[in-house]
Each structure stands twice: as C-alpha cells, then as structure tokens.
Amino acid sequence: MSDSCGAPVGGVVLADVDAGNQAVIQGTVTREGKPLSGAYARLLNESDDFVGEVATGDEGTFRFFAADGTWKVRVLASQGFTGEFAVEAEVGKVVDLQVEA
C-alpha cells in the first residue's frame, strides 16, 4: 500500500534488530507521546541527495539500511513539522532516533 507520494506505508517493528553486516538507521516518530502514523522519513546522503523515503505505520516507526558514513534523516509530519537529524552509520550498529513531532 502507498499514498500519493509513492512511499510505502507500514512501518516496522523495532524490537532488537540484529544489524549483522549492515548499518541500520531506524526510529520512532511520536506526537504528544503517541506513535504518529503517516509521517515520512527521508534518507539523504552527505551531499543532501535523496536516497529513500518511507511512511510510518501505526507504530510510528521507520528503518533504513545504509552504508557506513554520514547521513541525514529528514522527518516530515502533519501540522508543518520538519526535523532533520545527522547520523553516523556504521556496519554492525543500529542508530535509533526518537522524534517528537
């Protein structure tokens, strides 16, 4: 299922992911302490080029698999919220963002 921008809707379950041989960037978007469905998480590379986008599901979650290096996660949500977060991804590690929209 997708919405008008083409991003897949659904979110992911964030319980104890094993990064193994991948770098994982994931997070939860909330508003007033409750998961926010229908927000968008965009992954941008170090040059601010668009790499991917997902829409959060009922749990407000998102996940990207990335290469080692510096990345940005831009979160867009209703009521005009935009947040941008610099992250350092490293193979075998999970970066976990908590975003209050």
Strand-strand pairing, 81-89 and 40-44? unpaired
With 0.95 as the threshold, say if the pTM is over it.
Answer: no
- Non-local CB neighbours of 27 within 8 Å, separated by 6+ positions: 41, 61, 62, 73, 75, 96, 97, 98, 99
Give the pLDDT confidence score for residue 22 in this predicted structure: 85
pLDDT at site 39: 97
pLDDT at 13: 59
Q: Could you report the per-residue pLDDT of 57-101, keeping only the tens digit for each?
A: 999 999 999 999 999 999 999 999 999 999 999 999 999 999 999
Kindly indicate whether the domain formed by 23-100 is annotated with CATH number 2.60.40.1120.
yes
Tens of pLDDT, residue by residue over 9-59, are: 556 555 566 667 889 999 999 999 999 999 999 999 999 999 999 999 999
CA distances from 78 to 5, 52, 65, 67, 101 (A): 14, 19, 25, 30, 8
